[in-house]
Amino acid sequence: MNRDVKVAILTMEGTNNEEEAYLSFKHSDSSPEIVHLKKLENGTKKLGSYDIIFFPGGFSAGDYVRAGAVMAARIRSRLMKDLEKFVETGKPVMGSCNGFQVLVELALIPNLTKEYELEAALAPNMSNRFEARTVYLRVNRGNCLFLRGFRDGEIIKLPIAHSEGRFTPRDGNVLRKIIKNGMNVLSYVDDKGRLSGYPWNPNGSEHNIAGICNREGNVLGIMPHPERVFYNVTESDWTRHEWRPGMGYPFFMNAVQFLREKF
Amino acid sequence: MVVLRITVTLKKAVEDSEGSSVLKALRLLGYDNVREVRSGKVYFITLTKGSKKAGKEFCEKLLANPVINECVVDD
């Protein structure tokens, strides 16, 4: 019998996509639970009792101050040690969209120095618009555990919906290290797989970065929403291709399988 | 009571897309003399006691991301 894999999907006022993430993990043979931040803050729940942590998308705390800033500040004030410990055990942590913004604000991404210092931000889109559509992405999977089912150079399509997704490194040195270490695991590309400008790069991200994995490969932050296309039939063009699992399916299945193999 | 005025803007080197949109709109309204627009947020924070030093902490812990933001505290 398979080991039970417990997943915490962290929520607070304003997050959304919890249900999609919940169902994605549930149908990846794990036991997800939607956990409100307050329960972790008051000690009712413990991060250490879970195997995978997922930060969903949405607009935590109304996106006031900056997207993800309030949720990150709350976590940093009470739960950061537990979260760092969790990350350092090598267990999977993933954030999509607002979840990516939270991970960057927490300095879990890119975390080049392993000192959890702020090295990046997700700035407002260059278009100054809320960009919501399907985008093409090129996979550069490296050692990222969430991307094990993909081929290097594979082009996939995932939906996006955000207004603050422009990945902005602190300086050129941070960007160079991210690229040198192969941490830019997903890049916005055009329909031919080339790094291109707007509208292919929907937000003006440096080097077309759409997703970053930490060096160890167990923390992934991405602007697109794999949980929205776990199933083939929720893809925007599902009637135009043969049946297959949704493009988001491997992200969840990989995390659960990795957990069972390593822990 | 101390009232702090904290202004958070994008650093000069960071493209200010909201500022650019406002600039474009003002020019469309006929204001040809507008050369640049920078956008930002202003917070008015009332303390029962404390000083500008508290405001600096608010910037560091919540209001600004030093990668892209500048944070100025006035009292």
- Residues B37 and A128 sit within 8 Å (Cβ to Cβ): no
Closest by CA to A10, choosing from A57, A65, A67, is A57
**Which chain A residue has its CA at the smallest distance from B58's CA?**
A73
pLDDT digits (tens, 9 = 90+) for A57-101: 999 999 999 999 999 999 999 999 999 999 999 999 999 999 999
HSE (CB half, 13 Å, CA atoms) of A176?
Answer: 3
CB within 8 Å: B18 and A76: no
Percentage of chain B exceeding pLDDT 70 = 100
Looking at domain B2-74, what is its CATH homologous superfamily?
A: Phosphoribosylformylglycinamidine synthase subunit PurS (3.30.1280.10)
Distance from CA of B49 to the nearest CA of A (A): 22
What is the block-wise mean pLDDT of chain A (263 residues), using blocks of 10 residues?
93 96 98 98 97 96 95 96 97 98 97 95 95 97 94 96 97 97 98 96 98 97 98 92 93 97 95
pLDDT of amino acid A72: 97
B34: β partners: none
Report the alpha-carbon angle B49-B51-B56, nearest 5: 125
Smallest Cβ distance to B68: which of A65, A123, A204?
A: A123
- Rounded to two decimals, the pTM is 0.95
Structural domains in chain A?
6-262 (3.40.50.880)
Q: How far apart are CA A178 and CA A195, in angstroms?
A: 16
According to DSSP, the residues that pair with A168 across neighbouring strands are A121
Interface pTM (ipTM) of the complex?
Answer: 0.88
Question: Out of A20, A97, A131, A235, which one is annotated catalytic?
Answer: A97
